[in-house]
Each structure stands twice: as C-alpha cells, then as structure tokens.
Structure 1
Amino acid sequence: MMPLTIFPLQYKAEGKKIGIKTCPDALAKVVLRECGSLKYSKTYQCWYLPYDKAVFSRLKQQFTTLSILSHNEPSGATTPTKECLPGIAEADTAIPIPPAQAAPQTPQEEQPRIVVWNNSGWKVQVPYKKELIAKIKQIPDVRWVKEEKVWFVPLRKGNFQALQQATGIEPPHIDFSEYTKPTNNGSIYPHPTRTDMVCISVPYRAAVIAHLMRMKGRHYDKGQRIWTVPKVKPVLEELISLMQQSGLTLTVQATVWDNCPEKLPPQNRQQSNSYLQRVPAHRQETVQLFTDRLMLRNYSWATIKSYTLIVMQLMKAHNWQLPQEIPGRQIEKWLGKQIQNGISASYQNTIVSAISLYLRLVAGIDNWQLHLPRPRKEQKLPNVMSEQETLRLLSAPENLKHRCMLYLGYAAGLRVSEVVNLEISDIDSERKVITLRAAKGKKDRQVMLSDTLLTVLRTYYKAYRPKRWLFEGENKHEPYSARSLQAVFRQAKYKAGIRKQVTFHSLRHSFATHLLEGGTDLRIIQELLGHNHINTTLRYTHVSNKVITNVQSPLDKLFKNEKVL
C-alpha cells in the first residue's frame, strides 16, 4: 500500500478533520472510504476524514507507512513530527514511524498492493506480469473487477496462503470482531406507506432470491436490504411455501393478510398507474380522466396506452400545458418535428386521432378550429417468407415452448398478442378449432387447429403443465410477454439465416400468402385473419407467387431465341 501522510485540519465550522497530505491513488481511495467518510475540500485542496479514534485506528491497520504532520505544510515538507494526532490518546493510536531507509530495489509502482475489502476478501492491484497474473488466476474463485482494475480474492479456505505465495506479500489479516453469523430468520410485514405492497426481509437463499428476481413489480432496497413485492394472496402463499422449503424460520405479521386481493389487478390498470407517476401532480387528474373516459368507451388497452402517451408527450413538450391551451400553430410545429424525426404515416394518423379525441372527450371541443392534416395512406406490401424459410425458422428454436409459440403463429395466422393471450380452454381438440376472444377490434373468431399443431401442443402440455394461460410468463399468474415472444422470433430468424426484414407478424402474412398460393378462397382467408374488409386481404394477391410467376416478363420473350451475354 502507498505511504500516507496525514495532518490535523481545522475545517471551517465543522471542527477538526484528519487531512490527507498525500494524493491517494484509486486503490488508496477505496481503502480510505472503508476507514471513514472520505470527502474532498476545494478550499484546502486535499482529502479529509472524520477526526475520530476509530478512523485513525483503521488507518493504522491499512497503511503500514503512515506519516503525521503537526499542520498542513507546503508540498515537499513531509517530515513527520508526531506519532499520533493531537487530541487522540497516544496509548490508543501510537504509530511507530520507521526511520528513513534507502529506496527499495523494486519501484513502488511495480509492487503488488493488497487491501481488505468489506471483511469478505482482498482486492489486489498488481503490475502486468504474465507469471504473476497466471499465479493469481490459479487462486480459487478469484475474479477481475474491470471498473476498478483490481483482482478480488474472496475469503476462502487456503486463499490467504495462496495469495501470499502468488505475490510474495503477506495479505492484511481480516478482523472478525464485527462479523455476525448469518441467520435463518425471515420476515414478511406490511409496507409502511403503500397498501398494495409488502416488505420481505430474507437471508440469501439462491432459490428464494431467484424467485423474487422473477416476480413482476418487485423492488430491492440495497441500503436496507429489503424486498418489496405486490400484495396478492396467491403470490405470497407461493413465496412463503418456497421460503419454508429452503429451511427458513419465517415470521409473517397478521396484518399482511388484511385486504389482500385474491388475484393480481388488471395489467392495464397497473400500467396506467405507472404512467401517472411520470406526470406532474397538477396534471395527473387530467391524464387519469382521459384514460378513464377511453375505458368507459371500451377502447382496447393498446389504443388507450398509445393515445395517453401521445397526449402526455404533447403536454411535456409545452411545459405541461393542457392541449386546449396550446396554440394550434404550436401543435402543428410539434407534429412537424415528429415527422422530421421519422415517424411513420400510420403513427402520424394516430397522433391526430389522439389529440382530436382528447379535445372532444375531456375539453368538450367538438369542432376543433385547427384541423391537423391526415397523411396520405401508404400502400405497403406485407413481408412474406418462402415455405423453405418458414420451415428453417420454425425448426430453429431448441426450447419446446418457444417452438410451440412460433408454430401457432404460422399454423393459424395469429398476431403476437393473440398467441400470448391464449388460455387452455381456447383449444378445442375435438372440433379442431382455436377460439380467439376479444382480439383486435374486440372481435371473437375461430381458426383451424391443424393435426401437426395439435401433436406439438399435447407434447408441450405434458412437459409444462400450464394451469390457466397456455403460455405462462415468469409469474405463473400472468401470460407470456409479447416482447419476449418477439425476441424469441428474432433469435430464431438469425439462427435460421434469414436476412429479410421480417417480424413475428410476418408469420401471419406468410400463412395467408401460402394459403392463397395453395388455392384457398380469398373469402375464407378473410375470415381466418379476421379482416373487416376484403380489400385488406386483397393485399396478399400482390405478393403471391402464383399470380406473379404466371406472368412472363417481356425481357424473357425478347431474348427467347437470342444469346443474353
């Protein structure tokens, strides 16, 4: 460890401090922060610690060469004058000051530095030497801390001797006087401020911590080492059972079960509350009113979320003014800026609809004086995969659950939201149909259940045994996340070597196109896809190979009997 020079510092109105004359390096700062509350003074241009016996005692233990000045002398004047700081008893803090010696043969920067870290091991800073690094790597459970550029050697049987043999330096001894043996006691009690959450204090158990990490809505307070989780009866019962199986002695306060709901609140209400937290207090009531009125009119949650976020973005861009108070020209400029940022024509249309609906439902303005222009409708063709590409993609995932979800998307032409929201009761194996409830547009529909898909679903059910949702999420009480399924598709796409710009929705496009190429009537495809208008389904005629390849290019006719090159 580097030499350290300290002096008594009279710091403004706070009184005495232990001033640090030497400029500490990165490793020394880590050690100094362990000794006490390390701060820097711009006035005195030095670091300092609290003027305390315990702090000084830690300094003695960590720094073998500690020089003490009587006051802050100019740079270069580092001759020690006392063996202890004034006002601190010599019997408690006396430090022998080694006499001046010749400089060691090895430069200081090339010597390994070892400090105790949190009484759980040692942090080691060494110069880059292949032989030395190879010896340190052989120490059991050693790891490299990239941020601090040091090695961490955990406290394990034999590591003290191994570190000493590797570096040639005796590591500092670890003080176990303040060590407390971990207990097997856990507790669950009500949250002090939130009625929908409970607090959990639990010692480390791998299975319990892994379960808590997977819970939706959980939070961990590093300072207090307390978990907070949603207050829901089945969730708590499952957690308590797991904690007891892990051998923990559990204390559960009786008030935890007061007004404890039997199931999780609707996901849309949870998300609505999370959006309100982003809004200033004086505007939360307005946003809540808009959300509630959309719900009363039975809008889908996807529409409610999209419209609410648009109104929030508009208000935030104008210092949280109400939309009816923003001049029309300012709204036009804001919309123009969004278009410059590259939003699509369909999203531009959504913005216009959201603002107009807010003004009509909340502000009571039916005939808005500013009519935002609606964009020209884009005529985009769907991205379709060939049958060979589809086969490679469906065969790519090794996970049975992932493969089953992709099979469903292609075999029945389902949207990503329709796949994740399927329940076991929606699969009718006798009639060979799948019922989709409250799909896009709040419409129910039925699609065919193929024999191949039924075989895959039965294999999946025997392996996973889901209870309600066909595809359960990390929390068994909730369905699989749509974003997670989209990530599954991307991984399968890259693994299958498909370079087209395709998404999970492309399985639906491919389903319709392959049916059309196989001779299925367009009206039947319309019903299977749940389209309101036949014009929407007619898009697939533009990408069907059956239509396109039957037409001969005039170039082929021109060079029919001629050499091309």
Structure 2
Amino acid sequence: MPMRGDDSSVLQEFAASLGARDPKTVATYLTTMRDFVAWLGTQTGGTPFHLGLVTETAVRGYMDFLATTNRAPRTRSKALSALRRFCQWAMDEGHLRRNPARAMERPTVVAVAPTELSEKQRFVFKTMVEQHAIPRFAAIFALGYWAGLRISEIAALRLDQCTINQRAGSITLVDAKGGKTRTLDLHNMARRALYDYLSPAEPHDDDRDPESMYVFTSQRAAWLRQHGRPDHLSERGIEHLWAQFKRQGSYEEWQLIADVTFHDLRHDFAHRARQSGWSLEEIAVYAGHQTKDGAPAIATTARYTLPSRKQLKERVQLLQG
C-alpha cells in the first residue's frame, strides 16, 4: 500500500520496517494505524501524534471504540495484531519501554464453517466450464477447484514454476507471506487444463503474451513491462473473469452459484480432500498452511474443514444410545 502525504514520519518508518511482508498484511497494518491515529486525534491532547501517546489506556480506549461501533470480532482481532506489531517495532527502536498492546485480550472470533459447495453447485460449475469456458479460464478454474490455490498464487504463477506434460504435472509455489516454497503434484483435471492452455500445439483466441514469464498475462502486458511492472493477470482480473463466467449460466444456475466466490473453491477443495481421507497435516502442507518454522498450521486447516450445521445434524442422528 503506498504511503499517503499526511502519514506521519513514525508511520513511514514503521511501514519501511515491514519489508517484504505480504502486501495485504502491510495494508491492514497501515489502515489500522491510520485509524488509531485518527481516533487519538479526537481525544484530549491526542494531536499531534507522537509515540508518547501510545499507552495502554489509549490502546484499550481504541479497542473499546471499535467494539462500541459494532466492528466485527475478526476486524478487532486484526486491529489488535496491527497494534501489537507497531508497538513491538517501537520497542525495538527504543521508543517504548513496554508493549502496551500486549496486555489486551484478543476478541473472541466465533469459528464459522467456510463455504462448502453443494453437489448441485459443483455439477453446475464443472458443466459450465466444459460448455462455456475458454482454455485460459478453464485452467484458472481448475487450479482453484482441483488444486485449492489462492487467487494470488494463480495470478503470479510463472512458467518456470510449472512442470507439465501429457502424463504428469506439478507446480512449485513461493509463499508470499514467508518466502517458503512448496511443490504440488497436480490432480489430473488440473494438469490437463493447464497443459491444454499452455500447449503450443493448441492455439487459442486468448493466447497469453509470449514474451511474459507468467502463465496468465494481463491484456496490458506489453505496456506493464515497458513501465517496469509485473505483466501477469491481476487478482482483480481473476475476480472479474469469475463474475463474467458465472453470468453465462441460466437463471436457475445463477440462483445456485451467484454468491459463491472464487476463494470458496479453495475452501471446498479442503472439504473434499478431508472427505477423501486426507489428514489435516496433508491438507495443510498442500494448501500452504504453515507456521513461521515451516510446520503445518493445523489450526488454520481445521478452520477450513469445519463441519457445517447440516453435517452435524446428520451426524447427531447416528449417535448410539
């Protein structure tokens, strides 16, 4: 996230300290800190902002403000993470003697089962891909549905990360959050879709830009390269293609799939893997759920595969007396 002209020098230094962290994480941290600074400005003596104002009383007051303005528990939890990271940076730089955000209790976030597609929804999506999708989108869909990739991973996928032929296929991904790599052997449906798209023997109307290192290229690839910017299809571009694709269905199909996001394909992949007998550790490794030391982040994976109310309703009927 670019800095704003009204950002204080403190925020600019904090942003610089975040280095190569995931851009989305950096954006969340900066948004929170700007909101915190703005809130402090409404308090007596809260302007101009300086690090001496970052006290436990101020942090607690801000968190109470978020609660009374009906911010969701997950939003408040992310805000507290940002404040803790900022205060830790301030301590490391010698600006604070202690971390005033550390004493705050994290808001309880109620676990809700991520979206699992119904059999009807799965049938509709797979049928529509066969009937309507051009090879590029068919490959994008397959990587989401059959490999559970994040949108960011699909958008930034490079040719040198793919080993694809008519019989086998694998891709090597670099985790944007930690720089770790993982190599995934692809399900045959994902391998075939990617091979069909990239195969030079199969020319398509939507051919990728041949000068790009990326698998999925932007329509403005040449212009982006001239200006020193990545020329891959953007995450927003994938979301746009997803919305266009869903609109190709009939009214009945639209009613079934209108609210399904592309990221829901990743959640559904985890559910289907679990139902197919995968362990949580296996799903975590494949999906890229890792801790900082590279171990499988089982807690994250468990949230992806939480049972739905319908599943629990069916299970409770199986209880023996």
* Bucket of the pairwise TM-score, normalised by the shorter protein: 0.7 to 0.9
| 1:424 aligned partner, one-letter code | L
- CA contact under 8 A between 1:345 and 1:375: conserved in structure 2? yes
1:314–1:329 Cα change, 3 Å: same
- CA contact under 8 A between 1:408 and 1:453: conserved in structure 2? yes
1:316–1:422 Cα change, 3 Å: same
1:323–1:473 Cα change, 3 Å: farther
Is 1:473 equivalent to 2:218 in the alignment? yes
Alignment partner of 2:117 out of 346, 369, 385 = 385
- Post-superposition offset of 1:487: 3.4
Is 1:308 equivalent to 2:72 in the alignment? no
The 1-side partners of 2:18 and 2:113 are apart by 32
Q: Please list the CA deviations of residues 345-396 of structure 1 after superposition, one character each: whole Å capped at 9, or x if unmatched.
A: 2321221122222223236325234633311132121111024312323425
1:537–1:373 Cα change, 3 Å: closer
- Post-superposition offset of 1:303: 1.6
Is 1:552 equivalent to 2:317 in the alignment? yes
- CA contact under 8 A between 2:162 and 2:172: conserved in structure 1? yes
Q: Please list the CA deviations of residues 475-507 of structure 1 after superposition, one character each: whole Å capped at 9, or x if unmatched.
A: 314222212322333444454422575322210
Is 1:454 equivalent to 2:191 in the alignment? yes
Q: Which residue of 2 aligns with 1:542?
A: 307
1:491–1:337 Cα change, 3 Å: farther
- Post-superposition offset of 1:441: 3.8
1:544–1:326 Cα change, 3 Å: closer
- Post-superposition offset of 1:291: 1.2
Percent of residue pairs bearing the same amino acid type = 21
Is 1:345 equivalent to 2:73 in the alignment? yes
| 1:506 aligned partner, one-letter code | D
- Post-superposition offset of 1:288: 2.0
| 2:298 aligned partner, one-letter code | I
Is 1:508 equivalent to 2:239 in the alignment? no
Q: Please list the CA deviations of residues 524-551 of structure 1 after superposition, one character each: whole Å capped at 9, or x if unmatched.
A: 2232112223343344262498887465
The 2-side partners of 1:545 and 1:450 are apart by 28
1:488–1:324 Cα change, 3 Å: farther
Write the mapping of 1:114-125 to structure 2, written as runs, cut at 5 A. Answer: none
SS of the aligned residue for 2:49 comes to: coil
Alignment partner of 2:12 out of 285, 288, 296 = 288
| 1:381 aligned partner, one-letter code | A
- CA contact under 8 A between 1:332 and 1:372: conserved in structure 2? yes
TM-score (norm 1): 0.44
| 1:472 aligned partner, one-letter code | T
| 1:377 aligned partner, one-letter code | V
Count, aligned residues: 277
The 1-side partners of 2:162 and 2:214 are apart by 11
- CA contact under 8 A between 1:383 and 1:506: conserved in structure 2? yes
Alignment partner of 1:421 out of 156, 162, 177 = 156
| 2:14 aligned partner, one-letter code | F
- Post-superposition offset of 1:420: 0.7
SS of the aligned residue for 1:435 comes to: strand
The 2-side partners of 1:432 and 1:386 are apart by 28
The 1-side partners of 2:63 and 2:219 are apart by 39
| 1:287 aligned partner, one-letter code | L
Alignment partner of 2:139 out of 404, 407, 413 = 404
Q: Which residue of 1 aligns with 2:108?
A: 376
Q: Which residue of 1 aligns with 2:52?
A: 324
Write the mapping of 1:171-320 to structure 2, written as runs, cut at 5 A. Answer: 271-272=1-2, 275-277=3-5, 279=6, 283=8, 285-295=9-19, 298-317=20-39, 318=41
- Post-superposition offset of 1:456: 2.2
- CA contact under 8 A between 1:414 and 1:508: conserved in structure 2? yes
Is 1:530 equivalent to 2:288 in the alignment? yes
1:389–1:440 Cα change, 3 Å: farther
| 2:208 aligned partner, one-letter code | R
Alignment partner of 1:485 out of 215, 238, 248 = 238
1:299–1:550 Cα change, 3 Å: same
1:538–1:312 Cα change, 3 Å: closer
Q: Please list the CA deviations of residues 383-435 of structure 1 after superposition, one character each: whole Å capped at 9, or x if unmatched.
A: 11024312323425644433321221111111111111111111111552111
The 2-side partners of 1:437 and 1:482 are apart by 16
The 2-side partners of 1:526 and 1:544 are apart by 23
- CA contact under 8 A between 1:383 and 1:501: conserved in structure 2? no
Is 1:517 equivalent to 2:275 in the alignment? yes
Q: Please list the CA deviations of residues 76-106 of structure 1 after superposition, one character each: whole Å capped at 9, or x if unmatched.
A: xxxxxxxxxxxxxxxxxxxxxxxxxxxxxxx
Larger helix fraction of residues: 2
- Post-superposition offset of 1:320: 5.3
The 2-side partners of 1:545 and 1:514 are apart by 16
Q: Which residue of 1 aligns with 2:44?
A: none
CA-based RMSD of the aligned residues comes to: 3.1
- CA contact under 8 A between 1:356 and 1:368: conserved in structure 2? yes
Q: What stretches of structure 1 of length at least 5 have no aligned partner?
A: 1-270, 558-565
SS of the aligned residue for 1:276 comes to: coil
The 1-side partners of 2:190 and 2:58 are apart by 54
The 1-side partners of 2:161 and 2:268 are apart by 23
The 2-side partners of 1:500 and 1:549 are apart by 26
- Post-superposition offset of 1:330: 4.5
SS of the aligned residue for 1:428 comes to: strand
- CA contact under 8 A between 1:300 and 1:442: conserved in structure 2? no
The 1-side partners of 2:187 and 2:314 are apart by 29
Q: Which residue of 1 aligns with 2:169?
A: 432
| 2:216 aligned partner, one-letter code | F
- Post-superposition offset of 1:315: 1.8
SS of the aligned residue for 1:422 comes to: coil
1:369–1:448 Cα change, 3 Å: closer
Q: Which residue of 2 aligns with 1:335?
A: 63
The 1-side partners of 2:135 and 2:69 are apart by 40
